[in-house]
Amino acid sequence: MMLFSVTRSLLRGAQLIDVHRNRDVHRWVAPTLRELRRRREKMGPEAELPRSSHSDWNYSAEIFAFGKRLQESFDPNVLQQAFTHQSFIEQETRKQAAVGIEQPVLGVNDNRELIAQGERLIADYVEAFLLTALPRLPRQFISSVREALTSEAQLAHVSSHLGTKDIIMAAEFPIGDTLMASTLKAIIAALQRSSGDERCFLFVRDFICGQLNQRDLYEYLNIPDPLCTLQQYCKERGLADPEPRLIGNVGKNTLLAAYNVGIYSDRKLLGTGYGENQMTAVQEAASDCLRQLFGTEVHMKPVDFRLTLKDCARNMAQHTSDKVKTRQ
């Protein structure tokens, strides 16, 4: 009984405290907050400001932290140059000229040279990696995969997730995909100058080629007519012409019709496919044949992301020699 009375008195005291606490909020607070919210909604969303406009901004610390986040050793001057675009140099030159400085000295160069070098490095490393990791895939489709991995949107996606958006020094704001993609190219060139070819290749392998992880490689090939591509592939390699054969069908002349077609070459089954009509089934079967011939089956062995520059050296040298012959 005594415990019950003590509990009841404690609860009554808590209620009194809550009532007293609520009385501390004045009546003008809620209408004021509603009015401030109405004015804020009327003005619209606040304009996005660059990170450098904050009072705690320290560019040297940001450059240092960027390399440490990636666990890479960058030359600070080269890395700062990689983040500095030509538009920023021109903007600062105009500002200093406006205050009477005839020959402004900024102490940093723009990253145009690094962008050009980084673009060549990315193309060479990605193609050498694909040639080594996918040896059965024809060269023309290797180029298709490389173009998809090195597209502006893909490079900008990688660059944004590396945290480059707030460190880029450019006149344009907000930072667009073009600037982020070109900055990533410059960073790769800066890494090659700072740490050498091996670290640069591993960087490209992990962050750019790594986008292939758990992806269907066949989606990158962009094959509009699989049967025609299969016929051309067999002709180039001296194989017998592929012949579609109807294996079976169910529900003919109904809305749920299904056809099973197999494609043979020299009496050997290359692949099968299903479809609601024979033409669709033939194209699906041809796609299945190409998957197996190219080594890009749905159940294919995962791409080996442990390849090093030494493993890809032969394909990289061949790619370089092919480019030299093309230029000549």
Sequence-distant (≥ 6) Cβ neighbours of residue 142 within 8 angstroms:
127, 130, 131, 134
Tokens of 152: 């502006």
Residue pair 209/200 in contact by the 8 Å Cβ criterion: no
Please say whether the structural domain 57-213 has been given the CATH code 3.30.365.10: no
Q: Read out DSSP for 236-261?
A: HTTPPPPEEEEEEEESTTSTT-EEEE
pLDDT at 95: 84
pLDDT of residue 173: 86
Series of mean pLDDT values for 10-residue runs along the chain (328 residues): 50 52 76 92 84 82 93 93 91 83 77 95 94 92 93 95 91 90 96 94 95 89 92 92 94 91 93 94 95 90 91 74 52
Distance CA 171, CA 174 (A): 9
Contact 122, 181 (CB under 8 A): no
What pLDDT shows up at residue 324?
A: 42
CA-wise closest residue to 206 among 217, 198, 218, 194: 198
- Check if 57-213 and 219-294 are the same fold: no
pTM: 0.80
Annotation: CATH topology of 219-294 = Double Stranded RNA Binding Domain (3.30.160)
Give the tokens for residue 204.
Answer: 């490209």
Domain boundaries defined on the chain: 57-213, 219-294
Say which amino acid occupies 252: K
Question: What pLDDT is stored for residue 13 in this prediction?
Answer: 56
